[in-house]
Amino acid sequence: MPINKTEVDRRLILFKATLKESGSKLTHQRLEIFRAIASSLEHPDAEAIFRTVQRRLPTVSLDTVYRTLWKLRDLGSIATLGPRHESVRFDANLEHHHHFVCVRCGLARDFMSAQLSALRVPAAVRRLGSAVAVRADVYGVCDRCARREAAGQKRKQFPSYKRRKTSQEKRI
């Protein structure tokens, strides 16, 4: 199941460097949480990571896993798949089309593209399962959000991952 051990080690070293560089502390929990993700071929969710880490650190709590995951994401050590905590959206346009999704506000608009519609399933996928379809969407910043930003207004962004206040901030 786990990928090549050398690769995991490489990622771990990089991760430790990143942590130190950012002035964050290297705790057992963080190490194990990162190891759990780095050594998995699937893309685990918080719950799965939690269960894996629990085997080595029986006292970790699920919320530490969550906090750590967002921190690692902020540090650029891991990435997230799919939208986080977004509610489902519905679409009555049943014709083949693509979406332009705003990374700031989550707005999704339709567009057509012959190029994207013509995509064929790559051969590399064959050994993973029987492919049904390729979905291609474009991500970017919609005009409205771009205008807001140009106006210098700070608005809450779409994946507004709240950071825990530091004691410095609390004191204010």
Partner DNA sequence: CTGACTGCAAACCCTTTGCAGACCG
Partner DNA sequence: CGGTCTGCAAAGGGTTTGCAGTCAG
Contacting residues for 170 by C-beta, under 8 A, at least 6 apart: none
- Least CB distance to DNA at residue 66 (A): 4
Which residues, numbered 129-148, are part of the site for a second copy (CB under 8 A)?
129-143, 145-146
Which residues, numbered 32-71, are part of the site for DNA (CB under 7 A)?
45-47, 57, 59-64, 66-68, 70
Q: Does 85 participate in binding DNA (rule CB under 7 A)?
A: yes
Angle (CA) 11 160 158, round 5°: 110
Residue 9 interacts with which of a second copy, DNA, none, CB < 5 to 8 Å by class: none
- Total residues contacting a second copy (rule CB under 8 A)? 72
> Which residues is 109 bridged to in the sheet?
100
Q: Report the phi/psi class of residue 129: left, alpha or beta, with left for phi > 0 and alpha for psi in -120 to 50.
A: left
Q: From residue 107, give the alpha-carbon distance in Å to each of 22, 79, 154.
A: 32, 21, 18
Residue 150 interacts with which of a second copy, DNA, none, CB < 5 to 8 Å by class: none
Q: Does 60 participate in binding a second copy (rule CB under 8 A)?
A: no
Which residues, numbered 98-137, are part of the site for DNA (CB under 7 A)?
none
Longest dimension (CA), the chain: 57
- Least CB distance to DNA at residue 84 (A): 6
Distance from C-alpha of 54 to C-alpha of 119, rounded to nearest angstrom: 42
Q: What are the backbone dihedrals phi and psi of residue 152, each rounded to the nearest 5 degrees, phi first?
A: 80, 5
- Least CB distance to DNA at residue 79 (A): 15
Instruction: Give the binding site for DNA (CB under 7 A).
Output: 20, 24-30, 45-47, 57, 59-64, 66-68, 70, 84-85, 87-88, 161-162, 164-168
